[in-house]
Amino acid sequence: MLDLFARDDESYRTCAECGRDCESEPFSAGAGIRISFVCPAHGVHAVIDPFAHLRERDC
């Protein structure tokens, strides 16, 4: 199974302020979706596009 969140650097999953694990929250972004990683204490930490590699390939 393909892990859409797999990246070499997984720091986007951890809050830089407190080190907590961030919760993933998908949201609509025009022509696709994005995944925000939200720290319960500090809010949005990172936003990723899990399909960016497919859009870049099609250009």
pLDDT one-digit tens code per residue, 1-46: 455 555 577 888 899 999 999 999 999 988 788 999 999 999 999 9
- Domain of 22, in residue numbers: 12-58
Residue 2: inside a domain: no
Residue 39: inside a domain: yes
Residue 5: inside a domain: no
Alpha-helical regions (H) of 1-59: 52-58
For residue 32, what pLDDT is reported?
82
- Return the amino acid letter for 9: D
The pTM of the whole model exceeds 0.85: no
Residue 35: inside a domain: yes
Residue 6: inside a domain: no
Residue 3: inside a domain: no
43 Cβ contact list (under 8 Å, min separation 6):
none
**Count of the separate structural domains present in the chain:** 1
Structure tokens, 3: 């892990």
Residue 1: inside a domain: no
